[in-house]
Structure 1
Amino acid sequence: MVRSHPDLPSPSDAFFIATSRRILAATGLAAPGDPQSCRSATVRVGEHEIRIITPLVRPDGTIADPGRDRALALAVCHLVDASAQPRHQVAVAAAARRPPLVTPPSSPIHPPAARTSSARRP
């Protein structure tokens, strides 16, 4: 399943077809020009969503290895998303998702340290 942001204009069919081809090529399920690649279908479900349906059996009967397919497909989606947005918006969005590196000292996670006197107690 591939979705675009609902606040953005609806992507064209050509955009979704190109994206699904990039995903299938990256995962090795349907490389361009490979006659032994897995057959696939891309179905547009709504204005902002498609589903890619691919059986894992190639025409010659061998079974494709889906080991890293999810990670590769996600990487392609990130590349498509980054290329569709201006660089500044991508950097701002990435910075907004990043948690702070240091928790402020006044937070409940770090209560104030108990004060100890420098003199030794007997």
Structure 2
Amino acid sequence: MKGFIFLALAILLEVFGSTMLKLSDGFTNLWPSVGVATGFLAAFTLFSFALKTLPLSFAYATWSGAGTALTAVIGGFVFGESFHFLKISGLFLIIFGIALLNASAGKQTQSEKT
């Protein structure tokens, strides 16, 4: 259970760091630049804690996919970036791909069992 909590927090902090990266304006604004460093350092630290109990393929797929989806949503709502059918479709495909990867993680082939 702890692994999932660490993973969720790592996702949120990675999204925070990405948002601050946009606001840092190429690292020319001090406080958003500090937010980038803090957000990513904390995200990677918590992600490493999550990997103590979660499989790498599951954790990384969830982290990167959820981070991508949340960052795209923030881009649309906070920064006014375009949000059209293709972008929404792509986000659904990412989520669907993560679900497939995670569903297959629990299944082993016969050759892996022996």
Tell me, yes or no, whether TM beats 0.5.
no
Taking structure 2 as the reference length, the TM-score comes to 0.32
Greater fraction of residues in helix: 2
Taking structure 1 as the reference length, the TM-score comes to 0.30
Greater fraction of residues in strand: 1
Greater Cα radius of gyration, structure 1 or 2: 1
Greater RCO, CA 8 A, separation 6+: 2
